[in-house]
Chain A
Amino acid sequence: MKALILVGGYGTRLRPLTLSTPKPLVDFCNKPILLHQVEALVKKAGVNHVILAVSYMSEMLEKEMKEQELRLGIRISLSHELEPLGTAGPLALARELLTENSDPFFVLNSDIICDFPFAAMAKFHQHHGQEGTIVVTKVEEPSKYGVVVSDADTGRIHRFVEKPQVFVSNKINAGMYIFSPSVLQRIQLQPTSIEKEIFPVMAKEGQLYAMELPGFWMDIGQPKDFLTGMCLFLQSLRQTQPERLYSGPGIVGNVLVDPSAKIGQNCSIGPNVSLGPGVVVEDGVCIKRCTVLRGAHIRSHSWLDSCIVGWSSRVGQWVSKGCGREWVNSRTWGGDRQLVGERVGGGERRWGASSFLNPTSSPTCPQVRMENVTVLGEDVIVGDELYLNGASVLPHKSIGESVPEPRIIM
């Protein structure tokens, strides 16, 4: 079988992470988002050809996909839309690839995480024999989404309602479909919305069926939901593969730790934390509900809650003495000197932390506090003793001042 994954464009909602890496390659619980979907397609439904519909061609993505082709032993094609085609147009663009055989094919939104029901979907689709199957999931606040009204027994879909004002149904479109190739006759190569233009017609013709998704579901396209999705995923892992979760002194609840990560003493890690490869967590750190990406370094006695720490970032400054720094704007104030700025290497100014540079003094006491969906992009340095509340920090930035109210730091 084949699968088309709607990867889309710049992934702007997941900035600042997607300023460094294309969204499909951002690690979710220590594995690229895309790979969660692709591996499940391969393992659960025997998919051997995955087509990625992208509107922004990334070299990084191409390179990574070539590696995965070899590793998984499948074929991965990239279908690149040069102008926006909406949510249905990309299917028309990939028409030739999709109709290489007459089997039904999967279509997925790339931001979805759940316990992928690809085998069940294939069976369900074969059973009702009509043109399309949509996976639906139950949510608490359906009016934020497109709602599906369907027959409880057969699953036949009667209609769609976009963001209904009154309660219509609590099942929403979960962003995973199976279509028979005949569906492509409905779609032109032009900007087309699948929810607004294609599905309603199919429903009216009785060609569209809904399969309910048991278990968790999340659209992880923005940081807040990314973290919620992580909690749900780790919880599901506790049920299905508990041996993958980490346990040890100071670990609380569901925690995923890459084998190359290091955790110091007297820490409190978890619940709901994922630590990527090469992550270092120093002594006395408390982390809850966070994703810490590859190579990041959390310095001692810091406290993090609901944050995403980007690749190679440093929470708490490491002051290395004798690295040729220049004192800028140093003030003498009551006899103490406060480091206000330093020049590093290629002339880029970095705002350092308050550190008293006494040659005999011990290392700094970092003590950073970060909370409320603070997101650090790649290679961000957060100075000692700072407080970040809902800060969204762009890559390669150094933070020298607290951010007490949510804002974006460029």
Chain B
Amino acid sequence: MLKAVILIGGPQKGTRFRPLSFEVPKPLFPVAGVPMIQHHIEACAQVPGMQEILLIGFYQPDEALTRFLEAAQQEFNLPIRYLQEFAPLGTGGGLYHFRDQILAGGPEAFFVLNADVCSDFPLGAMLEAHRRQPRPFLLLGTTANRTQSLNYGCIVENPETHEVLHYVEKPSTFVSDIINCGIYLFSPEALKPLRDVFQRNQQDQQLDGSSGSWPGAGTIRLEQDVFTALSGQGQIYVHLTDGIWSQIKSAGSALYASRLYLNRYQLTHPERLAQLIPGGPCIRGNVFIHPTAKVASSAVLGPNVSIGEGVTIGEGVRLRESIVLHGATLQEHTCVLHSIVGWGSIVGRWARVEGTPNDPNPNDPWARMDSESLFRDGKLLPAITILGCRVRIPAEVLILNSIVLPHKELSRSFTNQIIL
């Protein structure tokens, strides 16, 4: 019997996902037409013997989350529960805190998945690797190019045994081109090292007195406190994959992840991809259109487009490399490229909403998203244009490389700006 834990974080995390994260917790943001963590849940539900999925995080449970859980339980016929941390406990603290729930029923092993990754989730292969040689910790690793590996957790492995010899989180100099995917398979023994870290942290706190320089009580950072500390001691192993993988930290990376998933739908969910039908809009490449969306027949969509629930797309609209969230309207002749149009937003006729993609170099198979800061040298870096919830763009203007906060009604064109 197996379980899965999805670490979903909380509102203090994921600030790079603003302003989209103002409306919906990041784990529920739709990527390729479905909530981010639904991709995780789908993958877990397909593992034979999966008994239960636990979400651990520190969001206050709200209507959106509750509804999502109910719907997911129904669809996948699996118990899915949300365990709320009382305070942010780091990437490992929640696992330790809820260890009893995780180990209830005596699972053989449990997967731990970070919510903000996009992957083809090779869980079956990881399980096989684990069963051949059960160890406390199995990490899923993939390859990045040398410069970009510095943005991730780097793994040095023994190429024969696949043991993790060394682990460093975001080093400043090159360590390894194998990076941590944030997808793990732990056996129940993994909780012992977590306990050790927890107890050690407690002692250190008591000794030191002030809580200034130490993380909060109960906080455990998996990467630094466990992986780095235990590497080279025969406890941590890595399974390599060259399937799709990307982190989803910012809106730009959500668009890129959307493209990866949409492409994968050709294999896994072809019914989710829009087809060219007579009288329907022109479809290019991979496009997801929610069944309740209304799209004019002279519109040209794609590649890499996701259209959400109840969206209206007018005549002559050109929509490419973008996500249109639920209830938004694109009026006639608009052109939306490399953008995310927020819930309920309205884009006026002939307006042009355009961003700049910062996607990994498509000619380099190991290229990953770069570290995604908003600014460099005081200037806003050209990036995906984001319209927050209920933004109104007037007719005929240009919104280029800008971020518009929710409920804003614009009156003119903007380039390279954050509009409060």
A residues sitting closer than 8 Å to B (CB atoms) are 266, 268, 283-284, 286, 300-301, 303, 305, 331-336, 354, 356, 358, 360-362, 364-365, 367, 369, 371, 384-385, 387, 404
**Residues of chain B with a CB closer than 8 A to A360's CB:** 276
- Are A365 and B300 neighbours in the complex by a CB distance under 8 Å? yes
Q: What is the CA–CA distance of A367 and B259 in the complex, to the nearest angstrom?
A: 23
**Residues of chain B with a CB closer than 8 A to A369's CB:** 335, 352, 398
B366 at the interface (CB under 8 A from A): no
Instruction: Give chain B's interface secondary structure class.
Output: loop
**Residues of chain A with a CB closer than 8 A to B299's CB:** 365
Of A268, A301, A334, A364, which is within 8 A of B303 by CB? A334
**Residues of chain B with a CB closer than 8 A to A283's CB:** 316
The 7 closest A-B pairs by CB, nearest first: A365-B300, A356-B284, A336-B303, A301-B316, A336-B285, A333-B362, A367-B318
Query: What is the minimal beta-carbon distance from A167 to any residue of chain B, in angstroms?
Result: 33
Of A284, A332, A364, which is within 8 A of B332 by CB? A284
- Are B333 and A367 neighbours in the complex by a CB distance under 8 Å? yes
28 A–B contact pairs at CB < 8 A?
Answer: A266-B315, A266-B332, A284-B298, A284-B332, A286-B350, A301-B318, A301-B332, A301-B333, A301-B350, A303-B333, A332-B362, A334-B263, A335-B303, A336-B284, A336-B304, A356-B285, A356-B302, A361-B276, A362-B300, A365-B299, A365-B300, A367-B316, A369-B335, A384-B318, A385-B318, A385-B335, A385-B337, A387-B354
* Chain B positions 312-352 with a Cβ under 8 Å from a chain A Cβ: 315-318, 320, 332-333, 335, 337, 349-350, 352
Cβ-closest chain B residue relative to A283:
B316
B286 at the interface (CB under 8 A from A): yes
B260 at the interface (CB under 8 A from A): yes
Task: Pick the most buried of A331, A332, A356: most chain B CB atoms within 10 A of its CB.
Answer: A356
B60 at the interface (CB under 8 A from A): no
Q: What is the CA–CA distance of A371 and B352 in the complex, to the nearest angstrom?
A: 12
Query: What is the minimal beta-carbon distance from A329 to any residue of chain B, in angstroms?
Result: 10
B400 at the interface (CB under 8 A from A): yes
- Are B316 and A335 neighbours in the complex by a CB distance under 8 Å? no
**Residues of chain B with a CB closer than 8 A to A364's CB:** 300
* Chain B positions 257-312 with a Cβ under 8 Å from a chain A Cβ: 259-260, 262-263, 266, 276, 282, 284-286, 298-300, 302-304
* Chain B positions 156-178 with a Cβ under 8 Å from a chain A Cβ: none
Q: 16 other contacts beyond A336-B302, A365-B282, with CB at 8 A cut-off?
A: A268-B350, A286-B350, A303-B333, A305-B396, A334-B303, A334-B304, A335-B266, A335-B286, A336-B285, A365-B300, A367-B316, A367-B335, A369-B398, A385-B320, A385-B335, A387-B354
**Residues of chain A with a CB closer than 8 A to B415's CB:** 404
**Residues of chain B with a CB closer than 8 A to A371's CB:** 398
B363 at the interface (CB under 8 A from A): yes
Query: What is the minimal beta-carbon distance from A284 to any residue of chain B, in angstroms?
Result: 4
Q: What is the CA–CA distance of A268 and B354 in the complex, to the nearest angstrom?
A: 22
- Are A365 and B318 neighbours in the complex by a CB distance under 8 Å? yes
Q: What is the CA–CA distance of A358 and B300 in the complex, to the nearest angstrom?
A: 13
